[in-house]
Every structure is written in structure tokens, then in C-alpha cells.
Amino acid sequence: MKYIKILGVLLFIYILSLLDYSLVYESIINLNLMFLSLYTLTFFLFFMIKVYRWHIVQNYFSKSLSFKENYWVFLETIYLSYITPGKIGDIARIWIMKKHFNIEKKDTLIAYIYDRIQDLFFLIACALFSVLFIIEIEVSKYLYGVLCLFLILYIAKNKVLNLFKNKFSIIENVRTDFNFEIRIFIINFASFFFYFLQVYFLAKAMNLNIEYSFIIALASISSIATLIPISISGLGVREGVFIYLLSTINVSKEDAVLLSLLDNVVFIALFIIGLHLFSKLFIRFNNK
């Protein structure tokens, strides 16, 4: 178990060995700048909605902070996750909130758990929906029951959480009211709409004709697959899923791997690091 994450790295190396790099280079130099600009815009909108959700969730479970304060905490921790080994940024959020705003670590942890649950729920829901109704693969009829059960469990999650509160005391504090859930659901819907749209625009920038509905399947299923603990940040696993799913609509493995790496590694790192540096310079300029 100690070295299990090497499997993903080995898979990634194997996938890279299969590629024709002349085709990869051709796809890169032929990127459509208009669609690449739209990709950047939707990426930014997705990021800001994620910040807004953190702002709402953090203020619900803990001490009220301004949007600007929550923006800086969110950006700083996401930035740390891309410049440090092991992506410790999210964990550092607990100490940053304590240090700068004197917020108890437990309160930040509760907000963080709830915030991450939202991503997990939407990705699982989208992945199940995709397998059933979007991608053309044979699935068991029991999967329909799994989807229904999953939705029921989420709707009644406060009652489900009550079953575990004696064993995990922190769960008692994760419960929310109905109005708050509706608000978060709307924010999640907007967030994932732009998340899938950014991948759609990147595919268009690469001159790939992929329907938006298929992008939902591709992004959600690959994100769920990366949760399997056999790799580092999903490397190799995500590319394998991209190759498999995109092969069903005749997209080459070179374009599949490039789409995965550009969106999930290259551009996201450039965006977060660039936004962090720009924000720092903006604050410094305004303070002069």
C-alpha cells in the first residue's frame, strides 16, 4: 500500500510512451485563440463562483468575514497547493484562518468539509447521470436504483448524518437548514455549468467537435476516477479515462491526453499562479 500511488505514475509514463508527439505539437500550434480566450473567461467565472461558495459556507458555519477576506484565503490556499509538494494548501487554510482572523480550527474544518462535500456530490451525480444517459456504454439496470438512492440520501443527508453523530462528534455541526441548501445548490449548478463550459471551450480551441453533454460525462467521470488512491493528483488515471471515453467518439489519444493535461495541469497552474501574482501586485499598487 505504501507505494500504490506509483501505479498512476507508471500508467502516465506508459501513456506518454504511446503518443505521437508530432501530432501533439500540431494540436498545440493550431490552438484557436478565440476559444482559448473564452476558456480563460469561463475558467475565471468558475473560480470566482467557487470563491463565493466558500464565502457563503465559511460565514454560515463560522465568524462572518468580508468577501475580500475570504477571497484572499481561498486564493492563497489554492496557490499553495500548486507550489508545494503534496498540495498542502487546503490543509493550510485551517491555520491561516486561525492566524489572521482568530477562527477556531474546528470551525474552518467544518466549513471545509461541507464545501468539499458539495463538489463530491455534484461530480457523483453528474457521473451517474452521464453513464446512464449520455455515453453509449452498457450499464446495469441496477445503476438507476443507485442514482435514485444517491439522490434520496443527499436530500435526507441531515437525518443520515444524525446516525453517525455519536461516533464522529464533528458531524453534528455540519447540518444546515433547507433555505441554505437551496442557495448552495444554485451556486453549485452555476459553478459546474462554467466548469464544464471551460472544458468545452478548450476542446473547441483544439478544434475538437465534442458536444457539451459529452463534456459533462468526460469531466465528471474522470474527476471521480482520480479519487481512486493509485496516483498523485490523478495523474495517469485521468488521462486513461480521457483516452477511453474520447475514443468512443473517434478522438485520438494524442488529443485526449493533451486536453486532459492542458485543462487539469498546465492552464490551471498558470491561471492560479498568475491570478495570485496579479492580485498581489494590484494590492501593492493600490497601497502606494
- Tell me the pLDDT tens digit for each residue of 242-283: 999 999 999 999 999 999 999 988 898 889 888 888 877 776
Asked if residue 285 belongs to a domain, the reply is: no
1 found inside a domain: no
Are residues 49 and 190 in contact, defined by beta-carbon separation less than 8 angstroms? Answer: yes
With cell 444517491, the residue in question is 150
Distance CA 49, CA 122 (A): 15
Q: Is the pLDDT of residue 211 over 60?
A: yes
Residue 218 lies in a domain: yes
Q: Is residue 286 part of a domain?
A: no
Domain that holds residue 104: 6-280
Tell me: the pLDDT tens digits for 159-188? 655 555 555 555 555 667 778 888 998 999
Is 156 domain-assigned? yes
**Residue for cell digits 449520455?**
134
Return d(Cα 232, Cα 190) in angstroms, integer. Answer: 29
How many other CB atoms are there within 10 angstroms of residue 133's CB atom? 12
Torsional sign, CA 56, 58, 62, 67? negative
User: Domain total for the chain?
Assistant: 1
Residue 238 domain-assigned? yes
DSSP alpha helix (H) spans, the chain: 6-17, 21-29, 33-61, 67-83, 89-101, 105-133, 142-155, 157-162, 178-205, 212-225, 237-247, 253-261, 267-286
- Asked whether residue 287 is domain-assigned, the answer is no
pTM (predicted TM-score): 0.86
